Structure 1
Amino acid sequence: MIWNAEEFRAPELLPFAKTGQKFMRATAALQAHSVRALLRCQIEGASFLKRRFEDDLKLLDKLTGGDEFVDAFDVFANFVQNATSDYANEVGKFASIGAKFASETAGRVRKEAETTVDDMAAATLAT
């Protein structure tokens, strides 16, 4: 018995092979998109912590660094006010990153759904 390679091509052998390949490709793209968003959040968080730690050092320098008398309460109150504002701004940035990620993900899912519907319609017409 001679085997013919044409008999075992994936599209004819498995009718859903192309769909499976598209599904795997879409899954990999979604995972890459998720990792990209996670890295954006980590970069933003590290940047924020760097700025906050620098401000912490500046507070210590102001309180202990000079020969002149420093009103510690005013310096500390100003520091807390700035820190509160920074944390509120950072929460807004993270919310913005999350909203952007959700919007991009919804767009990708919608595109994949439209492609799947078009493929199903083409397969229906072909049969």
Structure 2
Amino acid sequence: MTWNAEEFRAPDVLPFVRTAQKFMRATAVLQAHAIRAGLRCQIESASFLKRRFEDDLKLLDKLTGSDEFVDAFDVYVNFVQNATSDYANEAGRFASIGAKLASETAGRVRKEAETTIDDMAAATIAT
């Protein structure tokens, strides 16, 4: 059985049905945008944690893997400095991602608002 898109179109007599369909579509688009944003953040977090855990393993290897005396304090201080820098960079990346997502969302909302205004103007003229 095939679906015919024409069967599901709102009749011209019921303009509120068309508006409801547009609203539902806009809602679905914004939900998809939110899911995409959440997945971007999770991917970034997983990537960051992978890098940090690799650095943790390198620290342990440096502290325990050498037969020679290693200045543990210098190794640890270097590790903490690098970790602090990484966390600061990651916070900046998350702020950048958040700003980009907010900008994209505002653009989508503005586009939907303009479409709604155009539809209202067309309905007013048609009446």
* TM-score normalized by the length of structure 1: 0.91
1:84 maps to a residue whose letter is T
2:106 is the alignment partner of 1:106: yes
Residue 54 of structure 1 is matched in structure 2 by 54
Residue 117 of structure 1 is matched in structure 2 by 117
Residue 18 of structure 1 is matched in structure 2 by 18
1:40-119 alignment to 2 at 5 Å?
40-119=40-119
TM superposition shift of 1:10: 3.1
**1:75-110 Cα deviation digits (max 9, x unpaired):** 000000000000000000111111000000000000
* Alpha-carbon distance in 1 for matches of 2:15, 2:43: 44
**1:37-57 Cα deviation digits (max 9, x unpaired):** 000000000000000000000
1:114 maps to a residue whose letter is E
Q: Unaligned regions of 5+ residues in structure 1, if any? A: 1-8
Report the identity percentage: 83
**1:21-44 Cα deviation digits (max 9, x unpaired):** 000000000000000000000000
* Alpha-carbon distance in 2 for matches of 1:125, 1:42: 48
1:112 maps to a residue whose letter is E
The structure with more radius of gyration: 1
2:74 maps to a residue whose letter is D
Q: Unaligned regions of 5+ residues in structure 2, if any? A: 1-9
TM superposition shift of 1:68: 1.1
8 Å Cα contact 1:11-1:17 kept in structure 2: no
* Alpha-carbon distance in 2 for matches of 1:23, 1:99: 25
Give me the CA root mean square deviation: 0.8
TM superposition shift of 1:11: 2.9
* Alpha-carbon distance in 2 for matches of 1:124, 1:46: 51
Look up the SS of the partner of 2:70 in the other structure. Answer: coil
* Alpha-carbon distance in 2 for matches of 1:57, 1:47: 16
Q: Which runs of 4+ in 1 moved over 4 A?
A: none
